[in-house]
Structure 1
Amino acid sequence: MLNNESQLVSILDEIENDTISSPLKKIETLENLIEVAKTNRWRSSLLQANIKRITLLVYTDNLAGAEKAWPQVHQLATQIGKQEDLIRLDLASLYFTYPFNGVETVKEKHKLLLQTAEDIESAQLLGDIYEALGTSNHLSYSPYDAIRYLQKAYEYYTISDDSISLGGVLSSLGSLYVDLGNYEMAIEYFSDSLQLAEETGNEFSRSVILFNIGEAHISNSEYELAKTSLLAARDISKNLNDDIGVAWAEASLADIAISLGEYNKAIAMFQAARQKFTETGDNLMYFNTLVGEVEAKLKIKNIPDAISLLEKAEAMLGNVNSSYSEQLFNSVMAEVMFESANYKQAYLALEKVIEERDRLDELEQQEQVQKFRIQFDSDLKESQNRTLAIENQYNLERLNQQREMQFLWAIILFLCAFVLLIVLWLLFKQVKHRNRFRDMALIDDLTQAPNRRAILTVAGRAFKRSLKDLEKTTVCLIDLDHFKQINDTLGHEVGDNVLVGFSKACDQSIRRHDHFGRYGGEEWLLLLRDVSATEIKNVFERIRKSVNEMEIKGLPEDYYLSFSMGCAEFDKSKDADIRALIKRADNMLYHAKQDGRDQFLIT
């Protein structure tokens, strides 16, 4: 029993920070709190509870429910809410705008949000805005804009030190790369996201990310790896009493079972998962398990059951409201009708599939439609020929056998050509995307060393490990001595060559588990793990020797390149964050240059 509004606010805060409960359980709790707030006329708490509920409805893909609740909550926010409340409602509306209202409406919302972002100072809220813009562009098939916005979200979440949201961005990038067909990069992003979830103890996020990794492996036909990830996701969901998470994992494991030829096992798993989706009203996943079971029934030649399940799936189409689901249904229906020798219905179903695909797919699939049409006409012709006299039966059977063989060979040739085209298309897309995204990597254009953002990201993670006493991090700042003289006397091109050479010297001189990056201009940052003062001296001397033995274009052979280095070892009592540690190293660098350069100092 809640006695005052402050108690309800405390519960809302607990829901916000809860990393164990599933979104569906949080929604159930919020709905109860909303009723309490209505009864007691606690309008402020009522607004906050509704905003959190709409956000979670979007997260669980209940877009229809989110859209239905949005107008009334938006009206309340307009009356009593803050600017942030209205922004968060606008962010939620992005997710159900595209499937229901079209691309142009989405673009207009993007434009308004970008204008709003110009006046916002909160790094956390800016991160939320750019993450929503990235996900919205992903849903509306604009991958390049999606990557651009997600990278900006990552930058703002780094500033606000929000590890949970950083993990969400990395997971979104993983999902984007899955859709682009770059499964290797997708799994890298998912793995980074999983590491952050483990560091923050977010068990629910771990289960979701492991599920996504499993789906990426399925897309890449790596079924054993997929099983390992999905079973781990299922176990975590069981420990959390997250029945929906268990059902999602079971449905994907059933897909793997079909790919491995374990059809009866797949049928049982689809049926178990569908029972849970029935209880929660998840129409889309209920539909998907029906279609999956149809495919399994086809594999074991149980055509009557396949047709019965297909009829149930057809009845669900109106509740799913997804063009992809309609396309999937028609594709499976074509298979079922073809297997049951109902070639006319197979032809009609496949024709619907073609209408919803792009031109390239259309051209490829029209050949398949034509084959179904030929088979349909052949079947009619065969029926007519059966009325001929008995004396022609032998010749007619021979003719039918020849036609069947021709049709079989035509199907085989078509499938081979189709697979070849798909492989070539995927290879082309992969090469194209790799070239397109090369410039987006965290690499300095001139020296090909990690840039400032990259080395600071690594430094931040190393600092967190030092806080947990997992390792001892030493930060060193390096500044090239008299570098301005090189630019002024020998030219900027020679100066650039010196920077490139110094980058190579650093790379050759540090240990495998240490890191370096260009911090800015002629400054460099080293991250050394578990080193003594003697080892730091050895690193300093190796770099000095390497860079002076190197042939640098435009630099006189007898020119002596020197540099100064200031180092600071992590100290819990002095370093509140990575910036404090870097500042102490910078102070040592200043003294090293003041005391005559070409030396290193450590504190």
Structure 2
Amino acid sequence: MDTSVSELDARLQSATDPKARIDILNELSWVLNLGNPDRSRSLAEQAYELSKSGVFEKEPYLFGIASSLRSLAALNNDAGNYELALSQSLQAVEFLDRTKTRNTEIDENKIDLFGNLSWTYRCFGDFDLATEYGTKGLRLAQETLNLHRETRILNILSVIYAEAENIGVALEMGLKVVQRQRELGYFPGESIALNNLALTYLDMGDGEKALSVCQESIRLAREHHLETVETTALSTLGEIYIGIHDLINAEKTLLDVLTRTRKQRLGSEEFQCVYHLGRVCFQLGKEEDAIQYLQSGLASTQASNDRRGEYLCHQLLTEIFEKKGDFETALKHHKKFHSLKETIFNENMAKRLIGLQVSHQVESAKKDANIQYLKNIELKREIEERKLAQEALAKLAGLDDLTGVLNRREFFNLGEKEIARTIQTDQPLSAILLDLDRFKQINDTYGHAVGDHALIEITRILRESLRQGEIIGRYGGDEFAILLPGSTRGHAKQIAERLLEKLKNQSIPTKKGDVSITASMGIADLAQATKKNLDALLDLADQALYEAKHAGKQQFFIFGEM
């Protein structure tokens, strides 16, 4: 069983060793991810920053980073940020592999990460990969005799089997998990397991049993102050009321859930809630309310690129407008529904591509080491094949094949989605445009190999200086664009100052002597842009960059403060 919160808090207060402090922060974050997700996220972010700063600036604490990403991925799964959760889990697994050690703590982290990945792929609708990662976690838990984590993985697998319509296996697993959690005395796990079991009974058509089991899940969550788990179970209760045709109680319950999900920032639960409210209102004859809920659901799914959710909304809107006699609008939604129906079956491949992209990024150091080894044993043909494969993968995944950051097309693709999300959540967002100084002169004087080296070095420094969720793209030949979601110009200024400081001591050795690398930057934030899109934001940052270049390079300017 995990250590209690009070014990971990006491240990945190007295911890002075940096590694010990990071480990306690991460353990506390993991324990709190169900009961207090806001504090859990804050603790994980603290641990992440500490793991690559201070005494760890030159040699990051990989286990600390991986443990932080484990918690953040789980929290982002709950928030519906599945692409970010996938990225964080895959990176964490890679960092654990790079420690080249095997102990209890690493095994526990890997089990948890395989569980995270299983849940993420389940949310993508890729049951094959979800089952594969769940099985990996289950085997490792059984191999290490970790009953607590084995039970958590079984719970995840029971949901996957239920949604893959293997109800018999799902029910058997679900009952086993509830019994295990009771024996362990782990109330959060028992409440979650009861919630999932209730959904399985609903799928079997046993509404009465589903209602009874779900109410027990809610009672446990309330008794132990598990707000997030309670919200999830109440959402399930709303679905059960729909299933047994108690629409009045369904609407009442789902309205309560909607308030809770918005307060707790549970993006995936919020969409499910507004979608089901749309269903209920339609069945109650309140078409205008149903349309309003479904349009809200569409905005949410489009911002998060949830094609399955968008598909469901258009399908139901088609039925509603047909009933209203508005056949023109019904046809419009039907066309969108039909278009999504054609593409939704390819969604699994798109989600696997995200995995390839992330795997490519985190594997780059390992691949470089392998290439050096192959050089040493003179297997040149294999080296070239690997290089070609890596370049092909980079292009496929939307990465720049030299630096490994997003290429311009993919940066704009992800950037526009981030701006849509920022507008929807009313959060700040800033951008930095960075341009290497005298890059043409470096190429002309020292050759393109040195120029390429400079570009690789600058991207390394950028990655080390940014937080998870901040986006880097190669904007032009020697120009990079950075998006900082949730950050004001003040935070962007701090990053620019940090970059200038790091670049002061950066140089590249050549036969003609060391070459120093400097850069100029322009900063702007979305609030300053007249049009709230990526082009308008980057145009402002570009104006500030021009002023920085014009003023003598190796500095930054902020738009509006020039």
* Structure of higher RCO (CA pairs closer than 8 Å, 6+ residues apart): 2
State the TM-score, normalized to the length of structure 2: 0.49
State the TM-score, normalized to the length of structure 1: 0.46
Q: Which has the larger radius of gyration?
A: 1
